[in-house]
Amino acid sequence: MKMQFFSIPVLDPASAGDALNVFLAAHQVVQVDRQFVADGANSLWSVCVSYIDGEGRPEPERRSKRVDYREVLPAHEFAVFDKLRALRKELSDAEGVAGSPI
């Protein structure tokens, strides 16, 4: 595990904060510790980021393509599925709840 340290001045945090955010987005972070250092106009946040060296932040899982149940299910099962889907839509509309698309 590696560590990276950041100093973020209280009076002008923009650029140092941006650098911290870029680092966090690009690495697989294990832990973040912060400590406020009070020193008048020179006060700052000291941030220690512990991270795992390697490929960086894992990619989010991609959704697979939508399934066309008309192709997957036999005709008689799809007919039941379609009726249940229509009933679920009717009930969610009646209750004002957004249904998940299938």
Task: Tell me the domain boundaries of the chain.
Answer: 2-52, 66-96
Q: How do residues 77-101 score in pLDDT, each as one tens digit?
A: 999 999 999 999 999 889 887 765 6
Are 27 and 3 spatial neighbours (Cβ–Cβ below 8 Å)? Answer: no
DSSP-based three-state secondary structure for 5: strand
Q: How do residues 47-66 score in pLDDT, each as one tens digit?
A: 999 998 765 555 666 777 78
Strand order in the sheet with 2-9: 2-9, 44-52, 28-37
C-alpha to C-alpha distance for 31 and 33, rounded to whole angstroms: 7
Long-range contacts of 40-44, Cβ-Cβ distance < 8 Å, separation of 24 or more = 41/11, 42/9, 43/9, 43/10, 43/11, 44/7, 44/8, 44/9, 44/10
Q: What is the pTM of this model?
A: 0.52
pLDDT value of position 45:
95
